[in-house]
């Protein structure tokens, strides 16, 4: 589905509002939207909501062999996915420019800033290291994906616990969650991206642009910073020229915003940890706002299954008894076997057996071939002449097989079946009716 | 499958609310659902069954690609996204099962030459994932206001090694089970829309599971009803 284009009057309206220092959602120039962080039941799973933008983060780990040139370092892997759920314009399975740009920025922000101690992820140098994989799924796109994604990534990494391992000599033991408490990753600092949107060639600036504002902006400046006011990444896109003062001012704002967000993250993490320690309820079920009328819950519901057995028996007794035929393999010649009633192969020639039906007064169509030799000869024969192979009616044929007592066997020679193949086809339904009438 | 379809028609509709002795395994975990939580899709729902959670978004009826256009009905697409990694064969197979179920109830003929897209995102998997996906898809379709012949729900049953029946199993129970059966049932006649099974079981056990699933479906549909009643209530 295509994105609905923004009309000219909408664009003018938005720009005019920005010129008047007004934002459609009532925020001030430097205001962030509300950030909500909720955690799942597993370690390393979180949902970050930035206003209506929503990102799901999940960290997982795996033991792999390290890269050749980095024998003692663990591997970090980031993958942001723009699901179609987030916006109709995101097509599944397509690497759009936006996606590549976001993934690259995320890698620069989190991997290249060395916020995770990769050396602590080494188990056996040159042989086994941990690969930490961060999957981020955009669930709803309302602008400023990168900020939400970077928060989700760092929160998920902080929340994640990897299984403990011990090395004794050459032996590496991996402990399950029950055996030993999993260990958290060692995180040096928390880089967080802050986006600045520029309008009218850099005259106006907005923090945390929403989707509408992103559509009318001229340029974007993303600054990744940690709470120690160290810049981890800076990227300007959209082709606007910024003055030195503007960049400095932006970095100052970013410092303030990052401090606020870091505090929020730490509070959320501490809260979750406390709940887990106390054995309280945690997970997404707890984060659903109960007072909303769109949300509803039901407690554990017992279900009476005492009458299930009787019901099942009733149905089975009412149902037609299953066929008593047990397929016994028939050995024609050594090295071959045939299962079933000895009916001709139903894959290749269904319709012709029907023709045979008519020829013989519709009595029956169970056929046995004389010998395997003939059979093989026939197959090659058919293959060479013409083989309109019909596979569709196999169901119908199966049903006939299941009625064993109605099938007196008939012997047929290969010449008949060869002519049958060319015979005009008829609906197999007719055949069944006829057979019923005959019986 | 064919045998199921034949015998299935003979199952009578359930009536009344059950009471009496209850097995420990025969209960549904706590359910929770939130609708309309995403702003971009036309309809969305998050469905939780215990710790299993699925988020669903629905777009439609909307513009369709010419290559996918069907002249007399709506094109239904279902995408299921796993939490870790890229979608594989298991997801494709589930997508197909869900799509077939949705196609059976969605009145696509009312919106010819349009597309209805259901996007499902696994948020956490703690057993009975397919059933949860089906429930989330149904609630999202309801939220999007897509016309449907009936509602549907998914119920998973597990049979453990000594033949005990468990409803709505957790991941651990599913792993230990001898057979895991998932059914989709409609709300009007309580009939089978889809079934998928894994493992060994006898025909009697299949019928038992189906009967148990029907009993469980009543609870799920009651949950749907109460949830929608709350949503459209004035207070």
pLDDT band (50, 70, 90) for residue A346: low
Establish, for the pair of chains A and B, how many residue pairs have beta carbons separated by less than 8 Å. 200
B104-121 confidence digits (pLDDT tens): 999 999 999 999 999 999
pTM of the predicted model, to two decimals? 0.78
Residue with tokens 């723009």: A82
Give the percent of chain A with pLDDT over 70.
74
Cβ count near A391 (within 10 Å): 9
Q: Which of A49-53, A162-166, A237-241 is the least confident region?
A: A237-241
Q: Does B23 touch chain A (CB under 8 A)?
A: yes
Which residues are bridge partners to A420 per DSSP? none
Closest CA to A156 of A257, A272, A254: A272
Q: Does A50 touch chain B (CB under 8 A)?
A: no
Q: Does A9 touch chain B (CB under 8 A)?
A: no
Mean pLDDT of A204-219: 93
Residue with tokens 């120039």: A29
Give the percent of chain A with pLDDT over 90.
51
User: Is A193 contained in some domain?
Assistant: yes
Tell me the pLDDT of chain B averaged across its residues. Answer: 87
In this complex, do B26 and A58 lie within 8 Å of one another by their Cβ atoms? no
pLDDT band (50, 70, 90) for residue B11: very low
The confidence score (pLDDT) of residue A67 equals: 92
The confidence score (pLDDT) of residue A405 equals: 53
Residues of chain A positioned with their CB less than 8 A from the CB of B26: 302-305
Q: Which of A45, A56, A304 sits opposite B19 (nearest CB)?
A: A304
Q: What is the DSSP secondary-structure string of chain B?
A: -HHHHHHHTTPPPP-S---S---SS-EEPPEEEEES--SSSSEEEEEEETTEEEEEEEEEEE---GGG--TTSPEEEEEEE-SSS---HHHHHHHHHHHHHHHHHB-GGGSTT-EEEEEEEEEE-SS-HHHHHHHHHHHHHHHHT--BSS-EEEEEEEE-TT--EEES--HHHHHH-SEEEEEEEETTT--EEEEEEEE---HHHHHHHHHHHHHHHHHHHHHHHHHHHHHT---
The confidence score (pLDDT) of residue A325 equals: 64
pLDDT band (50, 70, 90) for residue A333: confident
pLDDT higher than 80, residue A204:
yes
Question: What does the block give as tokens for B157?
Answer: 């049953």
Right CATH for B31-233 from 3.20.20.70, 3.40.630.30, 3.90.1150.10, 3.30.230.70:
3.30.230.70
Q: Hey, is A117 helix, strand or coil?
A: coil
Q: Which of 227-256 (A) contact B at CB < 8 A?
A: none
Question: What does the block give as tokens for B9?
Answer: 């028609």
pLDDT higher than 70, residue A350:
no
Boundaries of domain holding A192: 6-273
Highest mean pLDDT among A340-344, B6-10, B131-135: B131-135
Q: Which of B6, B85, B205 sits opposite A319 (nearest CB)?
A: B6
Q: Which of A47, A83, A319 sits opposite B119 (nearest CB)?
A: A83
Query: Contact at 8 Å (CB) between B171 and B132?
Result: no
pLDDT higher than 70, residue A136:
yes
In this complex, do B11 and A133 lie within 8 Å of one another by their Cβ atoms? no
pLDDT higher than 90, residue B203:
no
Q: Hey, is A47 helix, strand or coil?
A: strand
- Number of domains present in the structure of chain A: 1
Q: Hey, is A64 helix, strand or coil?
A: strand
Cβ count near A111 (within 10 Å): 16
Residue with tokens 């069907």: B70
pLDDT band (50, 70, 90) for residue A306: confident
pLDDT band (50, 70, 90) for residue A311: confident
pLDDT band (50, 70, 90) for residue A361: very low
The confidence score (pLDDT) of residue A313 equals: 84
The confidence score (pLDDT) of residue A326 equals: 64
- Higher pLDDT, residue B170 or A357: B170
pLDDT higher than 60, residue A189:
yes
Mean pLDDT of A206-229: 93
**Cα(B70)–Cα(A367) distance, rounded to whole angstroms?**
43
User: Is A118 contained in some domain?
Assistant: yes
- Higher pLDDT, residue A95 or A124: A124
Mean pLDDT of A216-244: 92
Residues of chain A positioned with their CB less than 8 A from the CB of B4: none
Provide the shortest C-alpha distance from residue A295 to chain B (in Å): 4
Q: Which of A190-194, A279-283, B56-60, B102-106 is the least confident region?
A: A279-283
Tell me the pLDDT of chain A averaged across its residues. Answer: 80
pLDDT band (50, 70, 90) for residue A378: very low
Give the percent of chain B with pLDDT over 90.
77
User: Is A358 contained in some domain?
Assistant: no
* Domain CATH number, residue A239: 3.30.230.70
In this complex, do A285 and B6 lie within 8 Å of one another by their Cβ atoms? no
Cβ count near B154 (within 10 Å): 32
pLDDT higher than 80, residue A377:
no
CA dihedral A169, A175, A180, A186 (to 10 degrees): 80
User: Is A341 contained in some domain?
Assistant: no
Residues of chain A positioned with their CB less than 8 A from the CB of B34: 288-289, 292, 294-296
pLDDT higher than 50, residue A327:
yes
Q: Which of A139-148, A218-227, A294-303, B174-183 is the least confident region?
A: A294-303
Angle of helix A414-422 relative to helix A372-385, nearest 10 degrees?
20
By the 10 Å C-beta count (0-12 exposed, 13-18 middle, 19+ buried), B31 is classed as buried
Q: Does A176 touch chain B (CB under 8 A)?
A: no
Task: Pick the residue of B12, B91, B183, B208 with the most A CBs within 10 A to test the interface with A by mutation.
Answer: B208
B150-182 confidence digits (pLDDT tens): 999 999 999 999 888 999 999 999 999 999 999
pLDDT higher than 80, residue A382:
no
Query: Contact at 8 Å (CB) between B207 and B215?
Result: no
Residues of chain A positioned with their CB less than 8 A from the CB of B131: none
pLDDT higher than 50, residue B211:
yes
Mean pLDDT of A103-129: 92
The confidence score (pLDDT) of residue A134 equals: 96
pLDDT band (50, 70, 90) for residue A286: confident
pLDDT higher than 70, residue A395:
no
pLDDT band (50, 70, 90) for residue A420: very low
Type and span of the H or E element at A77: strand A75-82
Provide the shortest C-alpha distance from residue B149 to chain A (in Å): 23
Cβ count near A309 (within 10 Å): 16
Q: Does B83 touch chain A (CB under 8 A)?
A: yes
A36-60 confidence digits (pLDDT tens): 999 988 899 999 999 999 999 999 9
Task: Pick the residue of B22, B40, B118, B153 with the most A CBs within 10 A to test the interface with A by mutation.
Answer: B40
pLDDT higher than 80, residue B20:
no
Residues of chain B positioned with their CB less than 8 A from the CB of A395: 2
Task: Pick the residue of B33, B39, B221 with the most A CBs within 10 A to test the interface with A by mutation.
Answer: B39
- Higher pLDDT, residue B114 or A329: B114
pLDDT higher than 80, residue A195:
yes
Which residues are bridge partners to A62 per DSSP? A131
A145-160 confidence digits (pLDDT tens): 999 999 999 999 999 9
Q: Does B100 touch chain A (CB under 8 A)?
A: no
pLDDT band (50, 70, 90) for residue A312: confident
Q: Sign of the CA dihedral B165, B169, B170, B175?
A: positive
Provide the shortest C-alpha distance from residue B170 to chain A (in Å): 13
The confidence score (pLDDT) of residue A365 equals: 43
Query: Contact at 8 Å (CB) between B106 and B116?
Result: yes
């Amino acid at each position: 589905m295509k994105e609905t284009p923004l009309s000219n009057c909408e664009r003018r309206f938005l720009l005019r509002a920005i010129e008047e220092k007004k934002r459609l959602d009532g925020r001030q120039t430097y205001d962030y939207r509300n950030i909500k962080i909720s955690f799942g039941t597993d370690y390393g799973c979180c949902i970050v909501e930035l206003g209506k933008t929503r990102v799901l983060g999940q960290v997982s780990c795996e033991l792999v062999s390290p890269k050749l040139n980095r024998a003692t370092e663990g591997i970090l892997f980031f993958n942001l996915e723009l699901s179609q759920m987030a916006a109709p314009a995101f097509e599944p399975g397509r690497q759009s420019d936006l996606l590549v740009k976001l993934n690259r920025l995320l890698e620069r922000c989190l991997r290249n800033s060395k916020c995770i101690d990769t050396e602590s992820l080494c188990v056996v140098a040159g042989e086994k290291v941990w690969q930490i994989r961060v999957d981020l799924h955009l669930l709803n796109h309302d602008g400023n994906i990168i900020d939400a994604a970077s928060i989700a990534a760092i929160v998920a990494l902080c929340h994640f616990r990897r299984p403990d391992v011990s090395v004794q000599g050459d032996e590496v033991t991996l402990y399950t969650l029950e055996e030993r408490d999993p260990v958290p990753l060692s995180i040096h600092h928390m880089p967080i991206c802050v986006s600045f949107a520029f309008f009218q060639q850099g005259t106006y600036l907005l923090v945390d642009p929403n989707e509408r504002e992103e559509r009318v902006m001229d340029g974007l400046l993303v600054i990744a910073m940690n709470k120690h006011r160290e810049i981890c990444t800076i990227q300007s896109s959209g082709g606007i020229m910024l003055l030195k003062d503007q960049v400095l001012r932006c970095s100052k704002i970013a410092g303030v915003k990052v401090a606020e967000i870091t505090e929020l993250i730490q509070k959320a993490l501490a809260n979750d940890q406390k709940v887990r320690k106390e054995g309280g309820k945690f997970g997404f079920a707890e984060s659903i706002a109960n007072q909303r009328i769109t949300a509803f819950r039901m407690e554990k519901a017992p279900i009476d299954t005492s009458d299930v057995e009787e019901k099942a028996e009733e149905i089975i007794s009412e149902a037609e008894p299953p066929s008593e035929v047990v397929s016994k393999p028939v050995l024609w010649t050594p090295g071959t076997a045939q299962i079933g009633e000895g009916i001709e192969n139903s894959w290749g020639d269904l319709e012709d057996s029907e023709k045979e039906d008519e020829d013989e007064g519709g009595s029956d169509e169970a056929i046995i071939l004389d010998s395997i030799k003939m059979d093989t000869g026939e197959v090659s024969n058919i293959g060479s002449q013409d083989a309109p192979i019909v596979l569709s009616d196999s169901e119908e044929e199966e049903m006939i097989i299941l009625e064993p007592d109605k099938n007196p066997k008939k012997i047929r020679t290969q010449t008949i079946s060869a002519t049958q193949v060319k015979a005009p086809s008829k609906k197999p339904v007719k055949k069944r009716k006829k057979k019923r009438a005959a019986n | 499958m064919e045998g199921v379809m034949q015998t299935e028609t003979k199952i009578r509709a359930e009536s009344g609310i059950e009471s009496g002795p209850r097995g420990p395994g025969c209960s549904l975990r706590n359910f929770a659902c939130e609708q309309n939580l995403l702003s971009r899709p036309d309809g969305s729902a998050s469905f939780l069954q215990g710790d299993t959670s699925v988020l669903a978004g629905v777009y439609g009826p909307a513009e369709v690609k010419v290559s996918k256009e069907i002249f007399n009905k709506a094109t239904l697409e279902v995408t299921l996204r796993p939490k870790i990694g890229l979608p594989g064969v298991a997801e494709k197979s589930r997508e197909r099962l869900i799509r077939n179920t949705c196609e059976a109830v969605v009145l696509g003929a009312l919106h010819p030459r349009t597309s209805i897209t259901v996007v499902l995102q696994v948020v956490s998997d703690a057993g009975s994932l397919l059933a949860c996906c089906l429930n989330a898809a149904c609630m999202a379709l309801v939220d999007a206001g897509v016309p449907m012949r009936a509602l549907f729900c998914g119920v998973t049953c597990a049979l453990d090694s000594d033949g005990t029946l468990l409803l709505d199993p957790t991941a651990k129970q599913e792993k230990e089970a001898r057979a895991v059966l998932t059914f989709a049932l409609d709300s009007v006649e309580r009939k089978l829309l889809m079934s998928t099974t894994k493992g060994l079981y006898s025909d009697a056990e299949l019928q038992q599971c189906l009967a148990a699933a029907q009993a469980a479906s009543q609870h799920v549909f009651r949950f749907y009803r109460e949830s929608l009643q709350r949503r459209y209530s004035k207070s």
